[in-house]
Amino acid sequence: MKACNQCGKCCINYGDGGLSASASEVQAWQDDRPDIYRYVRDGNIWCDPATGQRLQRCPFLRQHPGDNKYSCDIYHDRP
């Protein structure tokens, strides 16, 4: 996998239903990362925990103030 250059394109372009997680990833989140797992609903990732509606963007993507750089709060556990 290519090193992240913090452009945000992966999460922006594929975060709206274009990404999926494997069953083993979802299970690992359920076991070890409930902060991530709470955004999984019926096997779909990045759903609002309160409503179950799919989010338009990954909730763990952060834009750095004042520039076009992004970071991922779950980089090492991302799908």
Over residues 17-34, the pLDDT tens digits come to 667 899 999 999 999 999
User: Is residue 66 exposed (0-12), middle (13-18) or buried (19+ Cβ within 10 Å)?
Assistant: exposed
Token pair for residue 10? 């992966």
How many whole angstroms separate alpha carbon 28 and alpha carbon 33? 7
Q: Can you tell me the distance from the alpha carbon of 9 to that of 11, in angstroms, rounded to the nearest whole number?
A: 6
From the CA atom positions of the chain, what is the Rg in Å? 13
User: pLDDT tens-digit profile of 43-66?
Assistant: 899 999 999 999 888 899 999 888
Residue 14 phi/psi, 5-degree rounding, is -115, 0
pLDDT bin (cut points 50, 70, 90) of residue 15 is low
Dump pLDDT digits (tens) for 60-77: 999 988 888 999 899 899
